[in-house]
A and B are shown apart, each in its own frame.
Chain A
Amino acid sequence: MQSRFQQGVDQIARLGRKGCDVMEALGRAGLFLAQSAVGVPSREGWYLWLRQMHFVGVLSLAIVLVSGLFIGMVLALQGYTILVDFGAEQALGQMVALSLLRELAPVVAALLFAGRAGSALTAEIGLMKATEQLTSMEMIGVDPLRRVIAPRLWAGFVALPILTVGFGVVGIWGGYLVGVEWLGVFEGSYWSNMQASVSFVSDVGNGIIKSLVFAVVVTWIAVFQGYDLVPTSEGISRATTRTVVYSSLAVLGLDFVLTAVMFGGL
């Protein structure tokens, strides 16, 4: 009886310790973000940021745009088969545009971004840590938070919303290809229904707000995981996995919350 009681107490203690660890990590991550993202960049800082925009943004362009095209095409195909039963295939443009702008573009682009750019950021920073590049930078008298971390954070913050817009545009075009060119929906109704029902502020604007939130969360997780990892090869592989898992969960969870606030009348 005593031992069972003891076991229970141990379990609660373990839970408490775990809770403390999580809170401590969150605190560390918060400080890390505040120290690295705040501050005015120097002239060289702009150059470093531009370089990272290439690595984080331009190199993710292909995967994001191709995925956008296919998702738009699939949406049109699926939407058509349902809408045609009700004789409402004229509303295809509206359906494709709203589902892309409100949900699919921000969420899928963020998930792809986490897999493509987020994991690369974690691995790159982790490798710099494991090979003592960050330490040696400190010893040269350069703050790695400003030189290595800040440009990567800001590149992620800016790149993902742009990629999301690209995803949405290509997706709508993909929907047009399948719906109008292939399945024969009247072109005028595809575009005019879309124009009539999509609101710039509440649909396009909210989609971009979502993607801004996802950009901050995904980049923050990726960069922090790289900076905070155990500097061994095993540590790097674990941190890379964690980046993808944590950021995917964070994106999907936050998406529900944001949707509830934006469109759910909360």
Chain B
Amino acid sequence: MTDVPFIEIEDVHFSRGSHEIFRGINMVIPQGKVTAIMGPSGTGKTTLLKLIGGQLTPDRGRIIVDGQDVHRLSRKALFTLRKRMGMLFQSGALFSDLDVFENVAFPLRVHTDLSDVMIRDLVLLKLEAVGLRGARHLTPAELSGGMARRVALARAIALDPELILYDEPFVGQDPISMGVLVQLIKRLNQALELTSVVVSHDIKETLSIADYLYLLADGQVVAEGTPHTLNANQDPRVSQFVHGEPDGPVPFHYPAETLYRDILGQATATRAG
């Protein structure tokens, strides 16, 4: 890749208890592009976003965001860096005690000294971008899942970040809101020249917007490339995921004894007993 890297992930190891999630992953996320990180459930995609955001610390390796080693920053510097990042959570994570308008205004109120009039204009523009200017007085409880995610997106771009992290943006969306979200992510990336990282396992949608993809499995990057090269990849681990085959290197069955032993072994034991 000839692009300028915005995030560099170097040999990152991470485990939770005895469960090893990452065993030395390396990635380069270029500036101004949409990079997708894909993989089956439980491969630690969300964990990776939390590592990039500095909420978790890797056991080994380092993560550089725009030239700064995230995990060597002081708490204050880390919070300053986070002002330049937006993150869209799977659940939306809107503040339940604030209405839509105040949710979007929240980052502006805490990080800027703008006047109320200015904040109002900015919030309405952000809400306009996600098509929810009319919903500003609703509370998060009154929003549908798709609307909540769009409000969360407006909040994530409120401070005009340089980087935006999307955690499973398409999960549990009906086809219409899915289409809206795909469009929004694409448009925001182009209009604001954002660096976007999309974590997802929705293949069709992700392939349609990503410039570059990484495929995670077994704690490692098993494949990377443009949507075109990934589609053509012959590696069984890749093609099982990309084409959604139920059985393959990722087995359909949870590890167990053979069925024969499990059933007949039990029967013999009962009879003998």
* Alpha-carbon gap, A136 to B156, bound state (A): 9
Q: How far is the CA of A142 from the CA of B111 in the complex (A)?
A: 9
Are the C-beta atoms of B93 and A135 separated by less than 8 Å?
Answer: yes
**Binary CB contact string for chain A from 2 to 29 against chain B (1 if under 8 A, 0 otherwise):** 0000000000000000000000000000
Give the CA-CA distance A155 to B86 in the complex, in Å: 31
On whether the beta carbons of B106 and A139 are closer than 8 Å, the reply is no
Q: B110 contacts A135, CB within 8 Å?
A: no
**Quick check: which of B5-13, B15-23, B75-83, B231-239 contacts chain A, the rest being far away?**
B75-83
- Given known pairs A138-B82, A139-B87, A141-B82, the reply for A127 and B96 (CB within 8 Å) is yes
Q: Which residues from A are CB-within-8-Å of B94?
A: 133
A132 within 8 A of B: yes
Question: How many Å lie between the Cα of A136 and that of B107 in the bound state?
Answer: 11
Output the residue of A136, A138, A139 with the most chain B CB within 10 A: A139
Assembled-state Cα–Cα distance A133/B55 (Å): 14
* Interface assignment of B219: CB less than 8 Å from any CB of chain A: no
Q: How many residues of B contact A (CB 8 A)?
A: 23
A139 touching B95 by the CB < 8 A rule? no
- Residue of B whose beta carbon sits closest to that of A132: B93
Which residues of B sit under 8 angstroms from A137, Cβ to Cβ?
A: 95
Please state if A131 and B83 are interface contacts (CB–CB under 8 Å). no
A133 touches B96 (CB 8 A): yes
CB–CB B89/A135 < 8 A: yes
The distance from the CB of A122 to the nearest CB of chain B, in whole angstroms, is 16
Check if A258 is an interface residue, CB within 8 A of chain B: no
Residues of A within 8 A of B86 (CB): 139
Expressed in whole angstroms, the Cα–Cα distance for A254 and B107 within the complex equals 42
A143 is an interface residue with CB less than 8 A from chain B = yes
B258 CB to nearest chain A CB (Å) = 32
**Docked-complex contact A136 and B87, CB < 8 angstroms:** yes
| Minimum-distance CB pairs A-B, first 3 | A136-B93, A132-B93, A141-B82
26 residue pairs bridging A and B, Cβ less than 8 Å apart:
A127-B96, A128-B95, A128-B96, A131-B91, A132-B89, A132-B90, A132-B91, A133-B93, A133-B95, A133-B96, A135-B93, A138-B55, A138-B82, A139-B53, A139-B55, A139-B82, A139-B86, A140-B83, A140-B106, A140-B107, A140-B110, A141-B79, A141-B83, A141-B107, A141-B110, A141-B111
Contact surface of B with A, Cβ cutoff 8 Å: 50, 53, 55, 79-80, 82-83, 85-87, 89-91, 93-96, 106-107, 110-111, 152, 155
Chain A residues proximal to chain B, CB less than 8 Å: 127-128, 131-133, 135-143
